[in-house]
Chain A
Amino acid sequence: MIATQERQDMPAAEPRTINLITAVTEALHEEMERDSRVVLFGQDVGARGGVFMATAGLQATFGKDRVFDTPLSEASIVGAAVGMAVRGLRPVAEIQFADYMGPGFDQIISQAAKMRYRSGGQYTAPLVIRTPSGGGVKGGHHHSQSPESYYTHTPGLKVVMPSTPYDAKGLLKAAIRGEDPVIFFEPKRLYRASKGEVPGHDYIVRIGEAVIRREGTDLSLIGYGGVMPDLERAADALAAEGVSVEVIDLRSLVPWDKELVVASVQKTGRAVLVSEAPRISNFMGEVAYSIQAAAFDSLLAPVGQVAGFDTPYPYVQDKVYLPGPNRITAACVQALNY
């Protein structure tokens, strides 16, 4: 069910098992090799290779003109990316933590998101902003938030969050090659925890397509990003009780794969939506609305939702705050017993 568009124009090599952050680095490396318009910048991305080492080695390979450190200013980093994209480059900007995007927010929503629309297509801003997001690393609220809903609320932006190395590499390549501004959230707790196979040849994963991680018939369990391993654990626990759970990874939030989700719920009759962002105005509210609007007659239970709490992200209760397998399983049981 993995929806991909694979290119065969690079020499074939054996598939390899890598982690998510290596997939990010490989995607950047290959895209910079492919297209000299791709430039990479942000705070500490050069010699150091970024706080999480996502850009490690790239400055040494591509030089300081293409991979460089900037002043400590998110407004400058994002704004410069807009101006570069308008002028014809393919900038990939790194913001150290999604929590720090605040000073660049206006550049994202007023400039990047609106450029094509407001100029009648005379100008476009095909840029990528990469940023680690989500909790689970004992970072406190300035290093753990999940702000994706702020961006899904802004027409003109594409919003992506992978959970596997395969998707991270394929989606990032698609983002860099695309013609629209993309906010690319990287679930930091999966950087090294998520390992998986990537092909030895060039490929992309199309933005906007979800993937069924495991097929099932009793309930659709839908999530994205850092929570995905917990969805799998919950599905395992329920399988042990004889419940067949279909696990879906949205991968892209804007645009999102409503068709796949609705078809799944029409098949299973039940849906539980999981994300770690606070519940109010959570993107999953949109998914819940769409499910009830398109598959109301199929529903055997109310759509369940497991989210972060509506508190600032707490430091000490890091693990408790996140919707782990227990909370996810409980929500599924509630839907099954309705």
Chain B
Amino acid sequence: MTTSPPVESLATAGIQPFTAEPIRYVGEDGLPVQPLPAAYTPERLRELHAVMLRAREFDRKLITLLRQGRTTFYAQSSGMEATQVGLAHSVRPGHDWVWPYYRDHTLALALGVPMFELISQCLGSNSDPSRGRQMPHHFAARKQNFVSISSSIANQVPPATGTAMAQKYLGTDEITVCTFGDGATSEGDWHAGMNMAGAMAAPCLFVCENNQWAISTNLRGQTASENIHIKAKAYGMPGFYVDGNDIVAVMEVCTHAAGWVRAGNGPALVECLTYRVGSHSNADADAEKNYRTREEVQEWLGRDPVVRVEKLLEHLGHPIESEERAAMIAAVHREVDEQVIRAEATGQPDWRIMFEDVYSDMPAHLREEAAMMRAEQEGGSR
């Protein structure tokens, strides 16, 4: 294993690590603050907007399902669409590997994980590829190399480093992408994984989706550090700071950082400064009453990443008309409704799956317990 070259040797291409302010291309008013790269044509921006809006409306519909009692847990990502959709564009789905965290369904959708699979997992239906074993919103998608999500905070970070080390050992051109929230950076596993990745020059792109609240603890309560990305310096990797509500900036910075990793320079960290508009989960539905102010939420709603693209498109002379937007939303709602009906129709896994996949083969003690369960079920008692 070799160590990473000094961060100072990073090819800048106009994107610098360790900036005092988040890198931004489009301001809150939708006007570019620096020239947009040529790739961001109105058509391209419209495509990105459609993916973001789809995720936003998925959120809205899943909250409805939660209120209807058809699922029991959901972690919204409203407000974080630019971060996750922007990041997705630096990942080659099914080629690179992703160790996500539990608020990453927008990333999953953007990487091509079928909505049907996500909904099936949230409902714990027979069509759930994870076989109803995890709480809702903790999915895994093999085709996209989207590794199973754990509830424990930051414990995907050392394994992500390991996957990247394996990629290096195997000599592939894959990279690993590891996401986490700001709260995760307080965990020992985060520091352990980051340190190992730096020391081993593992091709891993770490992405902090800094939505500023870890349930009820805000960033200032989380760390005395000025921000998250500067911590990368301690681990010998470049740290990039980006406006996580600016889809263009996230795409540019993540693509640049992924390119650095892909070129064999070792790991990199990107901090996307964004905001979790909704609650942490259904466990704290009254977030605004308990731990944060309405003013703060309103301020961040003014920075809405979806609206920002709409303003940009308007500025570029290609506005999304209100009827068109309404039709897009209606289409997503229909799509969710259809997939829910389809997933529910598959039923729920029965008790047998409880004993499977614990080991590669079922050992005697589990066969014994399964037999006991069978007798109980067939006897009709509990």
On A, residues with C-beta under 8 Å from B are 39, 64-66, 68, 70-71, 73, 75-76, 78-89, 91, 103, 106-107, 110-111, 114-124, 155-156, 158, 178-180, 208, 254-256, 258-259
Q: Provide the residues of chain B in CB contact with A73, threshold 8 Å.
A: 192, 195-196
Which residues of chain A are near B150, meaning CB under 8 Å? 110-111, 114, 118
Minimum CB–CB distance for A147 against chain B, Å: 19
Kindly state the separation between the CA atoms of A110 and B157 in the bound complex, as whole angstroms.
13
Given A75-B192, A118-B140, A122-B129: A84 and B162 within 8 A (CB)?
yes
Q: A83 with B158: in contact, given A65-B1, A122-B142 (CB under 8 Å)?
A: yes
Q: Quick check: B363 and A208 within 8 Å, CB to CB?
A: yes
Known: A118-B148, A120-B128, A122-B130. A82 touches B159 (CB 8 A): yes
CB of B172, distance to nearest CB on chain A (Å): 9
A-B contacts besides A75-B158, A83-B159, 10 pairs, CB < 8 Å: A39-B169, A76-B192, A79-B193, A88-B166, A106-B189, A119-B130, A120-B140, A120-B357, A121-B357, A122-B130
- B134: contacting residue among A83, A85, A118, CB under 8 A: A118
Listed in ascending order, the chain B residues whose CB lies under 8 Å from chain A are 1, 97, 99, 128-131, 133-134, 138, 140-142, 147-148, 150, 152, 155-167, 169-170, 176, 188-189, 192-193, 195-196, 199-200, 356-360, 363-365
- Report yes or no: B167 in contact with A87, Cβ–Cβ below 8 A: yes
Give CA–CA (A121, B139) in the complex, Å: 12
Q: In the bound complex, do residue B152 and residue A117 qualify as a contact, i.e. CB atoms below 8 Å apart?
A: no
User: How far, in whole Å, are A254 and B158 apart by their CA atoms in the complex?
Assistant: 26
Judged by DSSP, the binding face of A is mixed
Q: Are A83 and B165 in contact (CB under 8 A)?
A: yes
Given A106-B189, A119-B148, A122-B130: A83 touches B162 (CB 8 Å cut-off): yes
Contacting residues, chain A, for B141 (C-beta < 8 A): 122
Verify A107–B167 contact, CB threshold 8 A: no
Asked if B147 and A123 make an inter-chain contact with CB atoms under 8 angstroms apart, the answer reads: yes
- The distance from the CB of B16 to the nearest CB of chain A, in whole angstroms, is 28
- In the complex, A207→B358 CA distance in Å? 16
A65 touches B169 (CB 8 A): yes
A91 B140 Cβ-Cβ under 8 A: no
Question: Assuming the A-B contacts A120-B130, A120-B140, are A111 and B97 also in contact, with contact meaning beta carbons closer than 8 angstroms in the complex?
Answer: no
Interface centre among B141, B199, B357, B358 (most CB of A within 10 A): B357
B360–A117 touching, CB < 8 Å: no
A107-B159, A110-B155, A156-B358 in contact; A83/B164 too (CB < 8 A)? yes
CB distance from B237 to the nearest CB of A (A): 14
